[in-house]
Every structure is written in structure tokens, then in C-alpha cells.
Amino acid sequence: MAHFAAVLLLSFPVSSKSLNIASISKRQESAHVGDSQLSESDSPNCSASGITDYSLRLQLISFFVIMFVGGIGAFVPVIGYRFKSFRLPTNLIEIMKFFGIGIILSTAIIHIYPPANDFLNDPCVSGLMGDYESWPGVIFMLAIFFMHASEYILTAKLVNKNEADTGFAVKPAQHSEDVENFAVHTSHTHVHGASIGGGISKNALSTYLLELCVAMHSITVGLTMGLTPKNETLVLCIAVSFHQLFEGFAIGDRLSRLNENHDHNLIHDHDHQTQSPNNTPHNFSTTPPNKTSFKSMFLGALLYMFATPFGHAIGMALHSTFSYKSPSYLITLGVLEALSAGILVYVALVNLMAEEFSSFRFRNNSKVIQISSFIAMYFGAAVMALIGKWA
């Protein structure tokens, strides 16, 4: 399917002009109400508003097409979790999971961060930002540091909670092999799969943050779609539809995997013991995370499905009066996009790539599945990078 999508995209006779989100304002300057040309002194027109070359009919068609396609991408994995008759083969699901990881990483780097850079370095806001061109990178880094600190705090609370519940405290090991043996039994399985006080698991937390960032980005994509001139609506609709389909699949896949390790991570005293660094057996149990209901997964997919149409509806409603060169608009979108990019990159690299490729489950797969997973991830990133030429 991904190969078909890439071929179909290449078959459309589109111009080489990019349709990236931030560049839409440059194209709209030729279609807004009133004089859109720069003054003789080449000063930017920061009061530009409204679009005259506009087709409400095409916009409405695009609205429903994008919503439908995004819904397919998000709901297929979730429905497959609920109804076994719709579930894909296990190996295919495993490979498509890594395809989704590539999509998420490429979305952050190709589709979200560049527009943030364009928004915050627009001539209409550069003076307000102190003529400092690296604000997008600063915000991007702050988002990564925030995610790292948050996960550290959550993990520390988890460990302290477990120590209080079990009376078992981890003490420094005397030898490196003790550390390795002890870590194999405790670090990955129990910390990442468990929860804080029987509540939300780290896996669920990273999934919800992932969806929140993608939803914010989707709203800006929809807003851009709703503010697109008539002659570019069809091409952008096609590109955004593929964008939403693949991104939706990545989100749906993560939602459908919220309970993947639920039963595996329920550690009982009678059947699971860990070895302390001095080789003394200890019963070590974590508080299991609350199992995520199918209703929560369904609502998560629904949120993604309606995020882009929500922004699209706002764009259509304001297309005749909206000041798309307003400094407050540009700064707000720039900050949100930079934050989203930073969080998505952290989630993709730390919570997805690092964990999935280092898991025992992945290492126990056949070499064919392992190699296919690498290729699928690279291909997912490549597909979204290709779509980045148009959307």
C-alpha cells in the first residue's frame, strides 16, 4: 500500500513549488483581498488578509475526503485489536509497527519543524523575536529536555512506589556482571510496563503525548487547507490525504498496542522472582497499569480523525477575513509546531526506536523479520519525506 501511495503521488502533474504549511502565506499574498504586493521598499505586507480566488465547493469535498481517509488510517489498527476477524497477521503487524515509527520520526523532522522555523523567522515577526533566528531550535530542545525530565520524575516515583510497597530497595552492585544480570530482570520489563500507583503506564503516557502533538499539528494542517486558494486545493488535498492516512495508521497502531504487554507485566510473587546483586532471591512486584479500554482507544482514533477537519473548518470560516500574516498567529503556530516537533522526536527515538529494537521480543524474532522491520522503518520515513514535497 505504501508503495502504491508513493507511485500515485509521483503520477500527479504537480508543480515543483512546495506546498509546505508555512509557505502557504507566501502563495496567499497573490490571492488576498486588496493589494498584496510588497511596497517599493520591499517591506513585508503584514496586514494581508482574506482570499478571493477561493472555491468553497472544493474545500467541502476536501474536508470530507481528508476526514474519511484519516479515519481509515486511525481506526483499522484499533478495530483489528477489538475484532479478531479484522486482525492482520502477527508478522505483518510487527513490520507495520516499524513502518509507523518511521512515519512519526519523518513527520516531526520533515513536516513539523521546518514550518516552525518559517513561522518564527517570518519578516513580520523577526523584529518581535529579537532578530534571533534560532528560536525554533531553542524551543525544540526545551521540548526534548521537558520530556526527559518528566520521564525521569515519573520513573523515580514509580521506583519509590515499588520500594514502599515491597520493602525491596535496589542497592549498588559489587560487580559489573551483577548489574547486567539484575538489569535484565528488572529495568525494561518492570519499569516501562508498570504504572505509578496502578494508574497510567509509561507506554500509555508516551502514546497520549504522541497523539496530542500529532493532533496539534493536524489542526494547523487543516487550517492551512482551509486557507488554500482554488488553484492549489486539489493537489494539497491529495497530499494531505496521504499524509493523514499514514500518520493515522501510526497513531492507530500505538493506540491498539496500549495493552500489548499488560498481562506480560503483571508480576506475581508466586511465579516471578528477581535476583539481587548479591544473588539473594527477592520477590519483586510492580503495581500493574490499569488496562486501557477499547472505548479509550476508539476515542483516541476519533480525536485524530477530527483534528484536521476541525482546523479545516476554522480556515473555511475565516478565509475572507483571516489575517494570516498576523504576528500573534505566526508566533503561536511557530511555538506549537516547534514544541510538537521536539516531543515527537523524543518519543520516536527514546520511547519507540530505542525500546522496540532493544526488546527481547524483537531480538527473538527471525532474522527475516528483523531485517524487514529495519527496511519498513526506513521506508515509512521515506514515504513521509516524499509527501513533504507537497504537504
Average pLDDT over residues 224-251: 87
Q: Is residue 267 over pLDDT 80?
A: no
> What is d(CA 282, CA 81) in angstroms, rounded to the nearest whole number?
36
Instruction: Give tens-digit pLDDT for 66-114.
Output: 999 999 989 988 888 888 777 778 888 788 889 989 988 998 999 989 9
More confident: 272 or 212: 212
What are 169's three cell numbers?
530497595
Q: Which of 31, 27, 7 is nearest to 236 (CA)?
A: 27
pLDDT at residue number 9: 38
pLDDT higher than 70, residue 4:
no
List all residues 6 or more positions away from 54 whose beta carbon is below 8 Å from its beta carbon. 31, 229, 230, 319, 320
pLDDT of residue 100: 87
Identify which has the larger pLDDT, 201 or 101: 101
Residue 286 pLDDT greater than 50, yes or no: no
For 42-70, how does the pLDDT look when each residue is reduced to its tens digit (9 = 90+)? 566 777 667 778 899 999 999 999 999 99
Can you give the pLDDT at residue 332? 87
SS (H, E, C) the chain: CHHHHHHHHHHCCCCCCCCCCCCHHHHHCCCCCCCCCCCCCCCCCCCCCCCCCCCHHHHHHHHHHHHHHHHHHHHHHHHHHHCHHHCCCHHHHHHHHHHHHHHHHHHHHHHHHHHHHHHHCCCCCCCCCCCCCCHHHHHHHHHHHHHHHHHHHHHHHHHHHHHHHHCCCCCCCCCHHHHHHHHHHHHHHHHHHCECCCCCEHHHHHHHHHHHHHHHHHHHHHHHHHCCCHHHHHHHHHHHHHHHHHHHHHHHHHHHCCCCCCCCCCCCCCCCEEECCCCCEEECCCCCCCCCCHHHHHHHHHHHHHHHHHHHHHHHHHCCCCCCCCHHHHHHHHHHHHHHHHHHHHHHHHHHHHHHHHCHHHHCCCHHHHHHHHHHHHHHHHHHHHHCCCC
With CA atoms as reference, report the closest residue to 116 among 141, 85, 91: 141
> Phi and psi dihedrals of 192, rounded to 5?
-75, -30
Compute the average pLDDT of residues 241-269.
Answer: 71
Cα–Cα distance for residue pair 87/77, rounded to 1 Å: 8
Residue spans of the domains in the chain: they are 2-7+57-84+92-387
* In the predicted structure, residue 177 carries a pLDDT above the cut 60: no
Residues 299-309 have pLDDT tens digits of 999 999 999 99
The amino acid that residue 153 corresponds to is I
CA distance 284 to 330: 52
**Cα–Cα–Cα angle for 180, 377, 204, nearest 5°?**
65
Tell me the β-bridge partners of 195: 201
pLDDT bin (cut points 50, 70, 90) of residue 117 is very high
Q: What are 338-387's pLDDT values in tens digits?
A: 998 998 899 889 888 988 899 888 999 999 999 999 999 999 999 999 98
pTM score? 0.68
For residue range 312-330, list pLDDT tens digits in order.
Answer: 999 899 888 877 788 888 8
Confidence tier at 164 by pLDDT (50, 70, 90): low
Under the banding of pLDDT at 50, 70 and 90, the label for residue 156 is confident
Percentage above 90 pLDDT, the chain: 25
Q: What per-residue confidence (pLDDT) applies to 359?
A: 86
What's the whole-number average pLDDT of the chain? Answer: 75
